[in-house]
Structure 1
């Protein structure tokens, strides 16, 4: 140990000039090993020696008492610093241990089951329950006072003086009947006879606010810190999933898809709390890539906005909302907590519900990563009773290309707990990963980016507007926006989202028909109660053949029972993609009211196809074609969804088309076709479903299905 001359070094006498002082300050005295050993031994016995002890050490070691004093001071300071460092390490280890225990407890709470009722156990802390109830009661009282004061301004008296509202009792039998109004598509559905009683029945509202099954509490700083850690780890795992090929990803013999090797994944990303030990839990993992007509920044901005994200994937995302923005920044990335429901367009397939973190981060110039990972709350066992879903790190890597396009690499990795088997029609499609996999996301993204590009460019003279009735780019844009709203409305009408309660009714010839009723009070929809009816059938015909059949207007009289066999003529057409089947058409039916036209959009990609149509009166079509606002034009669309059945077959000669959109559609053995109709039941807030209306909907859908099978030479 070394000491400076100003403290405990050697002393000198006499006057000092500047150079001598500088030389003395540089002088050091190094203790011998015996001196240090004796000092250390004394320090262990007495870290604070008194003056007598210091003098004794000074005589024994040949050191000045001042040197002894400073050595003990320095040694005590050194020991204190060592203890502080050790304490810091211990506290840091304890902090990490507590954080891990917190995460483990969160994971364990998700699988806790009460032995009495089979559900999550209730909180036994009565004090916190009472406090929570008091706070909730105080909040409800404040809300009641506020509403009462507002109501008093309009009705002239306090709300407490209004007569009580009698409760409406709903019989379960009433939910098994259906009622149609007198509005249909290109024709009139028979109205109920005057003797039938349309008792009022509460219908589901069509609120724009998602009906989340669980409302998370206000997030604390600890929650946000935990979310940031989860998102960072998810980003690291996702980038490795994107950039690593074999042995992590292997080529499958079916369609040439990439399949995740579970053994390699577990070695690279060990998960101590994995739920895959549960025999009911299975994994879906897929990866796909494609070039899309949009740059990385524009795509990332659409992913961070739940409304734009839903518009970008209308056939996949049925509900999306941002619960809270954890962090935001233009070029520094963003992190937000979101809720979403993902769908397959059929009432036979349950939606998948997620609370998840979406982390958007720039990787390098012109490259963005968008990563989703589930964030499970302690109460998440209360929702999604049939299918519990956990989203492992998934998302897309978006890389700019020189021509303004971007390459998108998509990874989907999900844990699914199947408490009930999927419907037999969709079992192959779901288990193969085609229903919710990366290929479907990429195919839809390609098609929608293609559509947005066609929305911005000028008319294509070879395909657009053959009749010359759309006179301006504004008119084209207005028509495309109207058709997009029609498709979005149709997808929502057959969704199994938490806001829809589907009821099964008997059909004709073993055709199972499901119905749901909802209140259509939003702008752009007919006011009143709307009945949605749908059925799904399997056809031994490739999807692209079924799509071409519905798309061909010359064959429309073969399946459109409401047109009474009348032929239709295409008045106008707008291309909304490079594939010839992706277009918007305006059709006129012969021998029917000249004041009514049909707006139709058809689209196809490798994951499936849609043909959606809706009756629109001539004045409304003229409004759209002139480029005016179409948001208030009421739409009640009908149509078909066409999906591959998930059974791989060899591609037939001549089955390929000019586009890659049919690569899976052409190789699929059969088709899953959902036929869906919407009918305005009543302009009243609600209406009861009755027996005569059940017969009507059975005849309508049953006849449509029979004619489709007969036209395609399928067994009836």
Structure 2
């Protein structure tokens, strides 16, 4: 056998044919080639090219996912390396002896084993130069007292062993990838074989099913959730599970608790507030509950619907680009922003923006316009708590209740590191709203990425997923796209945080009524100012709620802490339902109606309630419209919340005097509160009328929402009972500021301007939205009539006219 035969035998035994077979089984598209070896003497074959043993402290799987460190591999124990690195050499063997043919049997020679010192010197040199030239080999042989061929063969075998280790590592990684692909394939097959219904969580049935069966399945899912809640309450209050009920299904961890750290130098009279505050009004049974968050069953692969699977690395690259853009846009002295002459409002410098950034989600669609806003402020919440709120869909919706209509996490790309949200990335779906039927709800699907920038400094960025990034050719209806937007949070030493909020979007202006176009284009509807103002108001409310020194409440009825929490939770549900009826989000299944006698600016919708205990059973009709009022926002808000003036606009009060029984403060402003009002009876046979009302106001707008409630139900709630079974049909008002100074442009010509000082105005006005929900008929077989629609339309018109008459405006 010649040298060629020795090469074939050595490579086949170590990593040649065996490696190729293993890789062929794992990934057919990647076939490992046998290593190319230099000729090795026949006498060295048996001892020098034995199959390498495992590294000390490492099995074969020890190298998976690790970077191969050549320095580590050359620092093996000397006694291990002697048998596998070609250290056993024939003493005094010449080149002629080594190249002899098979017919001439070599004489038995005395073997020479390298000393530990020689091996150490060879290893050190190999680490610096794995391929020494002839001059370097001569120098090594002289210095180590070895023959030149011994040095040459040592380096050949050392390189062969290194290559073998690398090939084994690659094969193991390929095998691991193959196992992961098989597991994902099994998940996909299982999902296809057992589809799940997103509405009720049960198995999907191919083909059409009856409406009754569909309702039964949804009711079954609701009853299961109710059973879980009852079992959880039993475990909490009784200290043991209910024996007569099956074991409760494990509930997910509560998303309604927001951990906030409040400093001792907090708002107003706050002193020594605990370092942790729970958001979500989850005091006992929860107040700011997350039950309204959009339920969604995540598909095993892909994003939503018929979308194809995508490469997650693409999401990571997009998120990193968006984060870089957000940080640059948030810099205080950035040339990307141009300040107004009064130093207040900032405008994006689009020319500088285009020079600085390349488009991250493709070009702007035809007919879309751009809005960009930036705002800063201080909030009583620390950076970690705010990050947790933004990265949790339930907490996010609870913190911005009138802005976020629905929210859901479609898929987590990564959940962060070291138990915190640093590096967390998720795909989300959300519906954003402005409280007016004349502004379409914004449907968004986007990435949300969180990253810690420094100690006490965090950034959370949103960026829409472009159609080309989703791996599908099906173009969905999209009326808005988010360019890199988000918030940078910096902790302050007094328990507050400084936030810089940026909103940058492209949207279809044709979806917005002419009355609201200048309002939206100025960033007042979805811009940074609204997010910052809402966050400040909500954090102030939570701080007051959790403090031991609650502001004095002027009320005739005494209410416990549990009753206060239950009342706040009921008020939150009332306001959410009001927003749903005004904005027509998919949070509730409304059906739009078009009646000839109703104006185009009035949105009329209906829904049949059969199983929701939070609403009266029967046909519910909702009607809402928006008008411009030549009155300042603050004056109109004070007028609508004044109990003494309620009879001037509230048709249902029928001129009765109204008295406030319960007052729960939600902020230091007097108008930010939840109240229980009582109408005095006009005769002895008439029962008292109770009204639950929530009011709040900030820089972004004001809200007055109310609903009639019956006395037995509200007594249960005030005693700390469950508020989910109190039926509500809310009505109310949303007031948005519409000052000329906020836009830097004049009002439309159809808005009559009033001189400063007339009727208490300041030369501006506001946008008033009026919404009513009424029960038409409680019978299951009830049908909607044209007269019913005209009745609620007349109710809206009459209310607006009464308000104008009371304020003496036209």
Q: TM-score scaled to structure 1, two decimals?
A: 0.67
Q: How does 1:430-579 map onto structure 2 within 5 Å?
A: 430-458=520-548, 460-462=550-552, 464=553, 466-498=554-586, 499-506=589-596, 512-520=601-609, 521-579=611-669
Equivalent of residue 280 in structure 1, options 364, 367, 372:
367
Specify the alignment match of 2:327 in structure 1: 239
- In the alignment, the residues of structure 2 paired with residue 390 and residue 71 of structure 1 have an alpha-carbon distance, to the nearest angstrom, of 65
Q: In the TM superposition, what is the alpha-carbon distance from 1:218 to its structure 2 partner?
A: 3.1
Are positions 1:405 and 2:499 aligned together?
no
User: How do 1:541-620 residues align onto structure 2 when only pairs under 5 Å count?
Assistant: 541-591=631-681, 593-620=686-713
Any idea what the Cα deviations from partners look like across 1:263-294, whole Å, max 9, x if unmatched?
11122212387414x55232211111111122
Aligned to 1:644: 737
Structure-2 separation of matches of 1:24 and 1:461: 81
> How far apart are the structure 1 equivalents of 2:519 and 2:211?
49
Greater alpha carbon shift after TM alignment, 333-342 vs 594-603: 594-603
- Aligned counterparts of 2:396 and 2:671: Cα–Cα separation in 1: 24
TM-aligned CA deviation for residue 77 of structure 1 = 12
Q: What is the 5 A alignment of 1:51-90?
A: none
Alpha-carbon shift at residue 332 of structure 1 (Å): 4.8
For 1:156-175, what aligned pairs fall within 5 Å after superposition?
A: none
| Deviation of the 1:321 alpha carbon | 0.5
Q: Secondary structure at the match of 1:426?
A: helix
SS in 1 for 2:435: coil
Match of 2:312 among 210, 224, 240: 224
Instruction: State the partner residue of 2:800.
Output: 705
User: In structure 2, how many angstroms separate the alpha carbons of the residues matched to 1:166 and 1:328?
Assistant: 40
| CA deviation map 1:554-603 (0-9, x unaligned) | 11111001112222122221211121211122111123543430111110
Structure 1 segment 659-698 matched on structure 2, within 5 A: 669-684=764-779, 687-698=782-793
Q: Which structure carries more relative contact order (alpha carbon 8 Å, separation 6+)? A: 1
Shift of 1:341: 0.7
Contact 1:288–1:411, Cα closer than 8 Å, also in 2: yes
Q: 1:460 to 1:208 in 2, by over 3 A?
A: closer
Q: 1:693 to 1:365 in 2, by over 3 A?
A: same
Aligned partner (choices 394, 408, 418) of residue 321 of structure 1: 408
Offset at residue 237 of structure 1 (A): 1.7
Contact 1:428 1:647 (8 Å CA) reproduced: no
Contact 2:302 2:309 in 1 (8 A): no
Conservation of the 8 A alpha-carbon contact between 2:379 and 2:536? yes
Shift in Å, 1:474: 2.5
Deviation larger for 289-298 or 350-359 = 289-298
Structure 2 SS opposite 1:439: helix
Distance 2:410 2:571 in 1: 30
Are 1:384 and 2:477 matched, yes or no?
A: yes
**Matched residues in 1 for 2:190 and 2:402: separation?**
41
Question: How far off its partner does 1:641 sit?
Answer: 0.6
2-side partners of 1:365 and 1:435: how far apart? 33
Displacement, 1:615? 0.6
Partner Cα separation in structure 1 for residue 726 and residue 560 of structure 2 = 20
Contact kept? 1:295, 1:406, Cα under 8 Å: yes
Q: Post-superposition shift, 1:621? A: 2.3
Q: Helix, strand or coil: the match of 2:652? A: helix
Task: Say whether 1:396 aligns with 2:487.
Answer: yes
Whether the aligned pair in 2 keeps the contact of 1:645 and 1:669 (CA below 8 Å) is yes
CA distances 1:10-56 after superposition (whole Å, capped 9, x unpaired): x99xxxxx9x99899999xxxxxxxxxxx9xxxxxxxxxxxxxxxxx
Q: Residues of 2 paired with 1:24 and 1:351: CA distance?
A: 74
Please say if residues 343 and 496 of structure 1, whose CA atoms lie closer than 8 Å, have aligned partners that are also in contact. no
Note closer, same or farther for the CA distance 1:302–1:523 as it changes in structure 2 (3 Å cut).
farther
Deviation of residue 691 (structure 1)? 1.8
Partner of 1:361: 451
Over residues 80-120 of structure 1, what are the superposed CA-to-partner deviations in whole Å (9 max), with x where a residue is unaligned?
Answer: x9xxxxxxxxxxxxxxxxxxxxxxxxxxxxxxxxxxxxxxx
Is the CA contact 1:359–1:371 (under 8 Å) kept in the aligned structure 2?
yes
Q: Does 1:307 align with 2:394?
A: yes
**For residues 515 and 261 of structure 1, what CA distance do their matches in structure 2 show?**
41
Aligned-residue offset at 1:358 = 1.2
State the distance in 1 between where 2:781 and 2:341 align: 53
> How many angstroms does 1:638 deviate by?
0.6
Match of 2:3 in 1: none
Change (3 A) 1:587 1:332: closer
CA-to-partner distance for each residue in 1:218-273, whole Å, 9 max, x for gaps?
36986222212221222222112112523111113488212221111122212387
247-256 vs 609-618, which moves further: 247-256
Distance (Å, rounded) in 2 between the aligned partners of 1:688 and 1:584: 35
Q: Take 1:342 and 1:237, find their aligned partners in 2: how far apart are those partners?
A: 23
Decide whether the 8 Å contact of 2:361 with 2:465 is kept in 1: no
Whole-Å separation in 1 of the counterparts to 2:197 and 2:120: 76
Query: Does the CA contact (< 8 Å) of 1:398 and 1:408 recur in 2?
Result: yes
User: What's the secondary structure of 2:583's corresponding residue?
Assistant: coil
Give the deviation of 1:505 after TM superposition.
3.5
Correspondent of 2:506 among 407, 415, 427: 415
Structure 1 residues not aligned, in runs of 5+: 1-5, 13-17, 28-38, 40-65, 82-133, 152-158, 168-206, 658-665
Q: SS where residue 494 of structure 1 aligns?
A: helix
Equivalent residue pairs, number: 561
Which runs of structure 2 are paired with 1:98-177 in the superposition (5 Å)? 139=194
Q: CA deviation digits over 1:310-338, x for unaligned, max 9?
A: 11111110110111122113325221111
How big is the shift at 1:472? Answer: 2.4
**Aligned partners of 1:216, 1:705: CA distance in 2, in Å?**
51
Measured in 1, the distance between the counterparts of 2:680 and 2:778 equals 30
